[in-house]
Each structure stands twice: as C-alpha cells, then as structure tokens.
C-alpha cells in the first residue's frame, strides 16, 4: 500500500453468454470481469484479460443488474465506494478460482478485437486492484511477456488448458506512437532488454520505467476517436467517456 491513494479505472469486460457451468447461477445477469488499469487510453489494443490461476475471486452484486468478478478484498473496497447493491456490504453470489475463469469469452470497451479471452498470468498480485488485469501487449511490458510466454510455450498452454484459438489469432496492435520507441513500445523495449519471460521482475520493472513516463508525456494516439492527440490530453477524455457511458467505473485504494 502506497502513501498516496491510487486511482484506477475499472474496465467492465462483459462475459459473453452462454455461461459455463461454474457461472450458471449468474444466468440472466450482466457479468463483468472488472479490470483495474492506470492506462484507459490503451483499451483499443486489448488482446485478452489476465487472471491468477490459483487466485480466489468472487462474483459480487454491484447493483440490480450488474455483477463484477473481483477479489474479496476489492469487493469490500467497492462496497465502501458505493459499488455494492447493499451499501458497505459485499454480496458474493458465487465463489470462483482463477482457473474457473480461464477461457471465458469477453467483450471489452473500445477493444479493436471484438471478442477476447481470459488467460493465466502468474505474476498478478492479489493485494492490488481487483486481481483482474486487461492485457495491452503493445504498451505494457508485463502483458507483452506474459502473452509471449503463452504463445511460445505449448507446455504452459497445456498446464492451464489454454486453447490455441484463445491466443494465436491475437497480435500486438499499434495504438500509441512514442518517438523513441515506435508504435509497439513494450515489444521494442522487451526485445532491446533481452527479456526472456514474465518472471524477469527486475528487467520488467526497468522496461516499465522506460515506457510508462515516455508514453504519457510524448505518446500520440494512433487510433480511435482522439487519433493524433497527445496521450496526456486523450487520457482523461477517454476515461470520462467510458465512465459516462457506463463501461467503466472509478475505484481508488
């Protein structure tokens, strides 16, 4: 926990019916994986969502129609931020593990890929955000390496029952140009730093440091409603629009 509160945008990634047996009790409701992001302007480039296979999640009633799948810790925080049907009291409809969520088809706001899938990431922290992360491999080194690991390692796919069609069709999409790093900044920096896997913590921290600030201060949007605009200016506009149309909510911790 930092000293400063962190403000996240929670992206509502809708689970596409029909639901698998573990989620059958939720039939008739709108069910979302709620992904915490600091980069709402990158949502055009989503290729999948990430869950922790051994993580504990629950399906929580947010209001009369919507259900969010998040960690219990996040559900409690949400309940104190007016995001629970019963104020200050989370209602869990179904307990789930990350493994139950792998392979769910999702429709996610602004994504150029119409349907994306939920996949395993081993470095997700359960004490940050919602425990659900949306994947933008063009601009996030963690996402790029985790997707690269799954694409290049058949044994890893087999271990988590990941089908080829949930990953192989999904390529890195150029969405932001950074003068020094080009149109796929995360891919470039991971290659330059010779990062081998999602587990190379120190190198990935360096990759994030290199791309994060530059992306914000010098990046230009290559796609979407604000194409040509600086990331710095587009970011609040995109975030506010997503919240206004009900496809995202703000969350702080």
Q: Which residues bind ligand A2H (CB under 6 A)?
A: 6, 36-39, 42, 124-125, 128-129, 131, 133-136, 139-140, 143, 208, 212
Tell me the closest approach of the beta carbon of residue 163 to ligand A2H, in angstroms: 22
User: Which single residue brings its beta carbon nearest to ligand A2H?
Assistant: 129
Tell me the closest approach of the beta carbon of residue 71 to ligand A2H, in angstroms: 8
Question: Which is closer to ligand A2H, CB of 19 or CB of 193?
Answer: 193
Tell me the closest approach of the beta carbon of residue 126 to ligand A2H, in angstroms: 7
Hey, which residues does 195 pair with through a beta bridge? none
**Rounded distance between C-alpha atoms, residue 1 and residue 65, angstroms:** 32
Tell me the closest approach of the beta carbon of residue 65 to ligand A2H, in angstroms: 25
Question: Which is closer to ligand A2H, CB of 37 or CB of 247?
Answer: 37
Contact assessment for residue 208 and residue 141, using Cβ atoms and an 8 Å cutoff = yes
Question: Which is closer to ligand A2H, CB of 50 or CB of 166?
Answer: 50
**Rounded distance between C-alpha atoms, residue 53 and residue 126, angstroms:** 11
Contact assessment for residue 42 and residue 53, using Cβ atoms and an 8 Å cutoff = no
**Rounded distance between C-alpha atoms, residue 237 and residue 241, angstroms:** 6
Question: Which is closer to ligand A2H, CB of 38 or CB of 93?
Answer: 38
Number of Cβ atoms within 10 Å of the Cβ of 129: 24
Question: Which is closer to ligand A2H, CB of 13 or CB of 162?
Answer: 13
Question: Which is closer to ligand A2H, CB of 4 or CB of 21?
Answer: 4
Contact assessment for residue 141 and residue 190, using Cβ atoms and an 8 Å cutoff = yes
Tell me the closest approach of the beta carbon of residue 123 to ligand A2H, in angstroms: 6
Question: What is the torsion angle, in degrees rounded to the nearest 10, for the CA atoms of residue 182, residue 229, residue 39 and residue 119?
Answer: -60
Tell me the closest approach of the beta carbon of residue 27 to ligand A2H, in angstroms: 28
Which residues, in sequence order, are CB contacts of 251 under 8 Å at separation 6+? 7, 8, 9, 10, 36, 74, 77, 78, 81, 83, 129, 130
Pairing state between β 66-70 and 30-37? parallel
Backbone torsions φ then ψ of 200, nearest 5 degrees: -80, 80
Tell me the closest approach of the beta carbon of residue 134 to ligand A2H, in angstroms: 5
**Token code pair at residue 140:** 């996030």
Question: Which is closer to ligand A2H, CB of 65 or CB of 199?
Answer: 199
């Amino acid at each position: 926990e930092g000293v400063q509160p962190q403000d996240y945008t929670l992206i509502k990634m809708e689970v596409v019916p029909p639901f698998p047996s573990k989620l059958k009790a939720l039939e008739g409701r709108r069910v979302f994986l709620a992904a915490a992001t600091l980069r709402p302007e990158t949502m055009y480039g989503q290729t999948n969502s990430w869950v922790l296979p051994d993580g504990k999640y629950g399906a929580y009633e947010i209001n009369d129609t919507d259900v969010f799948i998040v960690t219990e810790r996040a559900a409690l925080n949400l309940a104190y931020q007016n995001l629970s049907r019963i104020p200050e009291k989370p209602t869990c409809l179904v307990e789930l593990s990350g493994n139950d969520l792998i392979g769910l088809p999702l429709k996610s706001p602004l994504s150029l890929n119409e349907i994306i899938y939920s996949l395993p990431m081993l470095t997700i922290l359960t004490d940050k955000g919602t425990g659900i992360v949306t994947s933008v491999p063009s601009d996030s080194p963690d996402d790029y390496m985790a997707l690269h690991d799954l694409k290049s390692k058949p044994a890893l796919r087999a271990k988590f029952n990941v089908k080829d069609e949930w990953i192989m069709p999904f390529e890195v999409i150029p969405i932001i140009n950074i003068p020094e790093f080009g149109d796929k900044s995360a891919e470039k920096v991971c290659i330059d730093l010779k990062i081998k896997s999602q587990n190379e913590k120190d190198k990935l921290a360096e990759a994030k440091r290199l791309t994060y600030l530059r992306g914000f201060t010098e990046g230009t949007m290559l796609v979407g409603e604000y194409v040509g605009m600086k990331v710095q200016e587009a970011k609040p506009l995109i975030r506010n629009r997503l919240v206004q149309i009900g496809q995202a909510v703000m969350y702080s911790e």
